Structures are given as structure tokens and as C-alpha cells.
Amino acid sequence: MPPAALPNVLDMALTNQARRQVEQKASAVLSAEFPHLRPAYRQIFVALLATTAEGWRLFLREDSGRAGADAFLVGPNGVSAIVVSEAPPDETTAQALLRHAEARCAGIHGPHGQVLARSAVNLVLIRPGGNSAPVSNDGLFRSLTAENLPKLFQRDAVHLNRRQVDSIAEQAAKRLAGYAELRVRPPERTPEQVGLLDVADLEEDHLAAAQESSFESWMTFLHPHQQAVVTRNYNGPARISGPAGTGKTVVALHRLRYLARRSTGPLLFTTFVRSLPLVHRTTFRRLAPELADRVEFTHLHAWVRGFLERRGTGVNVDRGQVDTAFSKAWQAHRASLESVEPIAVYWQNEIDRVIKGKGLTTFDDYVKASRTGRGIGLTAGQKKLVWRLYETYQRNLAEKRLHDYNDIIDLALAELRREPLSEPYSAVVVDEVQDITLNGLRMLSTLAGDNLLLVGDGQQQVYPGGWRLSDAGIPIQGRGEVLRVNYRNRAEVLSFAQRFDAKNRVDDLDGAAGVALRDVESANPGGTTRSWRGSEKELAEALTDAIRELPVPVGNAALIVFQHNELKQCKAVLNKAKIPYQDLEFYDGEPNGKLKVGTVHRAKGVDFQAVLAVHFAQSAVDNDEDLQGRQHLVAATRARDHLWWGVVEAQTSGGVRP
Ligand SMILES: Nc1ncnc2c1ncn2[C@@H]1O[C@H](COP(=O)(O)OP(=O)(O)OP(=O)(O)O)[C@@H](O)[C@H]1O
């Protein structure tokens, strides 16, 4: 049992002097309780025990047989099973230690019916001698020395609050027979000290308060259904789907850690969205620092380019020149297609997502091909005109020896079929799979085989096109999971986002009925939303006010628009108002105090405490209302606590309406 009323020291970092006092106490407690502990080990356990003065909980067991000692440390950074030993354990021992740690923590409950995830237990090896040479079973253990021990307490990995730490520790105490719980109290502050908090203390307090949020607790706790998906044995390619915010990516990241511990090969996390892998890499490193080198986070085209380079296949991808090749083709065929649809990008998408994206190489195939989600139906005669546009575009690319993204996917697919990877991936996770082209899927399936895990939500497709997983020859039967509890959006935000729910049936990515956002259960009450409507002239003031009045730090908020040209307009407003911002394109998930800004395409898959979305009512999104609805749904569901939704009317439409 913990001593009755420990102060809430998690919110109150110790001063240096207090820390020294705590370490002295810790040393005395260890001498009394574990008199035979070797001095080199004692030094480490003093450091671990000192954290209990700040609310961490330590359970210790001496193992004289193995010349080591082990402990469980529960703190704001989660649960760590710690082995202190000079010699790294061999693979078999390491696996046994991992099972031991997982078994001891099995069945620990979290808030709202969640469970402590098996994949959440951190296994840490601490070597007293200062030997920091990599251990052979890297990836099972996080390996530290006495010198770099403070890494274990790093603030950026904080995700549990005091109540959660205590609740885990109380439950762990019952499961840890043979371990002694050791604690030291923090020194009392004198009345003078209480008034003399230095700046560092205040910063620490601020940080701790911000981290009181329960949102990050997914690093330790999963819903039992999420947990089951993390550990299930699939024997074939699998798919996780479910509406926005249901924890699909969270499950995928835990599963990567779980699978990495049970395999030896490299692992890959990829997606079509360029900026996303960086953000998830940052998150994953907090979850599983020991696996930083084994799991590769790369967006699909970067992976393909790297792969082709390694195979000696040169490609020439220049986005600007590729666009010019299309523009020239469009100029040549504009007259014949304009009456069907005047927006050039519609036809560029037709080539990218339908003709080339699906790997159609003959006009006959194109005539027969389904164009689900393309908005406009085309007759065979109109398709003939599109095919001519496509042929001219292809000629323009060939003349300049250019490759577009579809070309390099095709090259990679051919190359993988010719010669598979010499060291196959133990797991390939594909996030936001709904936006990958059909040929991209074929390539990933060839790359990963049975080790493929596809994660996505048909309702959040922001690029037009349409396929079923079966079209790519990926058999999912019996290996499709659907998550249904929304953990991200507070109830108010969720209910606002649900207005963009699909009128049509939602697809589960494989042709069957999926779950729509309106069907999810909401896990977090509260939240705020604000709507604004006005003219383009009035936008600057309204947006600046909305940013100044944000109920969250501006660095935790994002401004999302739907078209590139609108981005420029909004950035001009920010520049004028001197509001520092960062392009979402370059956001890697590290906190930086700046407002994040980007189009919805760059905001996919991530979340922010607050979102400001600006919709220019006049803009057309590829002439497709459904697509626009899906993009709005994605933008609105990026917000956790607060959503500001601005609509800019046509310039002639006059004043602000409430
Ligand atoms: N088990 C959990 N406990 C607490 N919070 C959770 C849990 N699972 C997910 N969350 C919260 O929900 C957020 C959304 O999770 P995640 O990004 O995995 O959802 P998603 O289904 O991939 O969403 P989207 O499809 O909208 O990108 C996380 O950032 C986290 O804050």
C-alpha cells in the first residue's frame, strides 16, 4: 500500500537541493532493504528509487543467481520492466524476460474499460559498467547505462497522469509477488521555498498540466478490442478499418512493436501521405525507443525511389515538369473535353487515379473499367477522347524521359516480381490505404505477401478513384477488423463532424458495408465548436480573432484549407497578423509552438488539440460533392477539443451571418 498522502509531486519537479536529499534517503532505504546489492547496482537503483519522490512507483527484486536485479517501474512514461545486469541476456533469456514482464502486467485495467496493452510494457536493460556497446537482441530491450539512465525519465514520453500511475501500481502490487515496493518521500518545502518557485519549476508545472490530458494514455492502455487486433495471429494479409479517430493507427503502431519483438527482420510503416511517416516515426520512437532502427517510416514514393535506386533503375521524377507535360496535353485536347468537364485537374485525376492508377494499358480495359467515386459518368465515346488525352500525356512524358508517380510504382512492381527482396519485411503496415492507387496496392502486396497490414477508412478518401482490395488480389476474408469507438474527438467536435457523414453507404475497402462516423461511440465528453460565415474581405479579421481566442496553445492547433491557392491566401493573413506558423508538409510531430498550416491532404492521419478549417464556398473540389464531404469530414475530425469552422462566401454576398 502506498503511504497515505503523498503530495502530487508529478506536477512539481524537485529542486536540485531537494533531489540530493531524496537521493540520500533512497540510498539509506536501499541499504536497509537490500543490504547485499552491489555498489554499481545500488547507484542505479538509487536513481530509480529517487523518482518515487516525484510520484513514480518502484518494485524491486534481487536475483543473486543471475548476478543481477530486476524491477518494475511505473511512472508518467508508462510501465518499464527493468533488468540490471552486466551481461546482456541471450535471445532465449530475453524472450523469457519479455514473457515474464507481459504476464505480470496482464489483466491490469485502465480507465473506461481499457486494458494495459502487452505491447506497452517497456523492457529496459541497464548495464552498470558504462558499457554502451549495442546488445545482440536490440529491439527487444531498450539498452541503457548508468550514465544515460535519465533517458528513461524523459519528459517527452510522459503520457499518464498521477491517478493512472497509482492505479496501475496498486494493481501491479498484487501481481508482483517476490518484489518489494520501495518509496521515498520528497522533502517538505519550507514556507519560504513555496513562494520561491524558479522559472524552471514553473515551466515544469506548465508541462505537467498540459500532459494531464488523458489523450496520450493510448501508449499504455488499449480498448480490449484494440488489444486483440494488436496480438492476433493472422496468417495472411489483414485489414483494420473504422471511422476517424477510432485508433487504427494507434493499433498499427502497437502491433509493429508486438511483431518486432517476435521476429528478426526489418519492418516498414508506409503511406501515400508524404508528411505522415515523419509524425508517426516521432510517436513510435516515444512508444518503442528500442525499435527506432528496425522500423522504417517512409512514404510510399520515397520507398519506391530508394528501392529502384538500390536496384540500379534510374528514374526522372520532376513534379513541375510532369505537370507541364499534362498541361500541354490538356491544351491539345481541351476543346474536346471541356464541355464534359472544364476543370483540368479532373482529367489529370482521371489519368492518375483511374487509367494509370489501376494499371489500364488498353482502351478496351478503360471502357470496361469501373470509375467509382468519379462523379461524372462517361460514355464510350467520351472515354475515347480521354484516352487520346492520356496518349498525348504519355508521349510528352516519354519525350522528356520523365516518370510520374504511377510510372515508378509500375517499375517497382515489375522489379519486385523479377526479384523479390533478399531480406523480406517481417511486417509492412500501410496507413491511409484508401488513398493508395490500385497499382500501388498490387506493388505493396507483392512486397509484403502475408505480412501486409492495411489500415484505412473508405469514408476518408481524399483522392478520387475506387477499388476493392480483391481487385488487387489481396484476400482479406476473416482478417478484417473494424474499430468503432472514437477516442480522438470530444463529443461536440464529433457531432459537428458527423454533419459531413456520407449520404451514401460507406465501403469497408473491400466492397462490403463499412461503419460510418455517425455509428461510432464517443469516448470523450465536452469540446467546443464555433462557426463563422462571411466574405473574403472579412476573413482576415475573423481568422485572426479565432486564432487569438483559441482555448489551447497555438502550437497545438492547425489551420486546414482544401485547395493550394487558398493556402496562400490564409498564409498572407497569418503573415500580416505576425502569427508564426509551420507548413504541415514539414511537420514531424515534434512540438514547436507554431500554428500548423496546410491543405487537408497534408493533415490526414494526424490530430491537433484545436483545428481552424476554412472552406471557400466557391472552390470546386474536382467537381465531386461526395469527395468534398469526405475532405470536410477529414478536416473536422482532426480536432480533439476545439473546432472553428469558417465558410468564405462569394465576394458579392455581403456581411457576416452568425
Ligand atoms: N486506447 C486509446 N486510449 C486513449 N486514446 C486513444 C486510444 N486509441 C486512440 N486514442 C486517441 O485517439 C486518437 C486517434 O487515434 P488514431 O490516430 O489511431 O485513429 P485513426 O483511426 O487512425 O484515425 P484517422 O482515421 O482519423 O486518422 C489518438 O491520437 C489518441 O489520442
Q: Which atom of ligand 1 is nearest to the CA of 114?
A: 1
* CATH class of the 527-653 domain in this structure: alpha beta
Could you tell me how far CA 563 lies from the centroid of its own chain? 23
Distance CA 563, CA 392 (A): 27
Angle at 455 between CA 590 and CA 301, to 5 degrees: 65
Ligand 1 contact via 227 beta carbon (within 6 Å): no
Closest residue by Cα to atom 3, ligand 1, is 218
Looking at residue 175, its pLDDT comes to: 94
**Residue 244 marked as a ligand binder:** yes
C-alpha 25/C-alpha 30 separation (Å) is 9
CA 250 to ligand 1 center in whole angstroms: 6
| pLDDT for 655 | 41
Ligand 1 neighbour 392 (Cβ under 6 A): no
Residue 442: which H helix or E strand, with range? Answer: helix 438-448
* CATH, range 223-312+407-500: 3.40.50.300
The SS3 call for residue 315 is coil
Mean pLDDT per 10-residue run, the chain (658 residues)? 32 71 92 87 91 94 71 94 86 89 93 90 86 67 86 84 93 94 84 49 45 69 94 94 93 96 93 89 92 93 96 93 97 96 92 94 94 86 97 98 96 97 96 91 96 88 69 88 93 94 74 85 92 95 96 95 91 95 90 93 91 86 70 95 93 44
Q: Which of 119, 487, 493, 631 to mutate to test the pocket of ligand 1 (most atoms within 8 A of CB)?
A: 487
- Pocket probe for ligand 1: among 108, 118, 218, the residue whose CB has the most ligand atoms within 8 Å is 218
The DSSP string of 278-314 is: HHHHHHHHHH-GGGTTTEEEEEHHHHHHHHHHHTT--
How many angstroms separate the first and last alpha carbons of the chain? Answer: 56
**What is d(CA 23, CA 20) in angstroms, rounded to the nearest whole number?**
5
Our mutation pick for probing the ligand 1 site, out of 215, 488, 501, counting the most ligand atoms within 8 A of Cβ, is 488
Contact 184, 25 (CB under 8 A): yes
Residue nearest to atom 23 of ligand 1 (CA): 245
Would you list the domain boundaries of the chain? 9-210, 223-312+407-500, 319-402, 527-653
Please name the residue whose Cα sits nearest to atom 7 of ligand 1: 218
- The answer to whether 422 and 265 are in contact (CB under 8 A) is no
Only one residue has cell 480522438, namely 488
Q: Is 608 in the pocket of ligand 1 (CB under 6 A)?
A: no
* CB of 221 shorter than 6 A to ligand 1: yes
Atom of ligand 1 lying closest to residue 455 CA: 22
CA atoms within 13 A on the CB side of 603: 32
Query: How would you class 231 by CB atoms within 10 Å of its CB: exposed for 0-12, middle for 13-18, buried for 19 or more?
Result: middle
- 306 annotated as a binding-site residue: no
Reduce the secondary structure of 158-214 to three states and give it as a string.
Answer: CCCCHHHHHHHHHHHHHHCCCCEEECCCCCCCCHHHHHCCCHHHHHHHHHHHHCCCH
- The pLDDT assigned to 55 comes to 92
| Identical fold, 223-312+407-500 and 527-653 | yes
Q: 74 in the Ramachandran plot: left (φ > 0), alpha (ψ -120 to 50) or beta?
A: beta
571: left (phi over 0), alpha (psi -120 to 50) or beta: alpha
* Residue 373: per-residue pLDDT: 76
Cβ-contact 425, 450 below 8 angstroms: no
Provide the sign of the torsion angle of the four alpha carbons 142, 145, 149, 151, taken in this order. Answer: negative
SS (H, E, C) 9-47: HHHCCCCHHHHHHHHHHHHHHHHHHCCCCCHHHHHHHHH
Q: How far is the CA of 607 from the centre of ligand 1 (A)?
A: 9
Give yes or no for residue 226 CB within 6 A of ligand 1: yes
Ligand 1 atom with the smallest distance to the CA of 604 is: 27
Q: Measure 544 CA to ligand 1 centroid, in angstroms.
A: 29
- Ligand 1 pocket member 247 (CB < 6 A): yes
Is the Cβ atom of 637 under 6 angstroms away from ligand 1?
yes
In this structure, what are the phi and psi dihedrals at residue 525, rounded to the nearest 5 degrees?
-75, 175
243 is in an annotated binding site: yes
Q: Is 231 annotated as a binding residue?
A: no
- Considering only CA atoms, which of 313, 343, 285 is closest in space to residue 412? 313
Q: What is the pLDDT of residue 250?
A: 96
Per-residue pLDDT at 657: 37
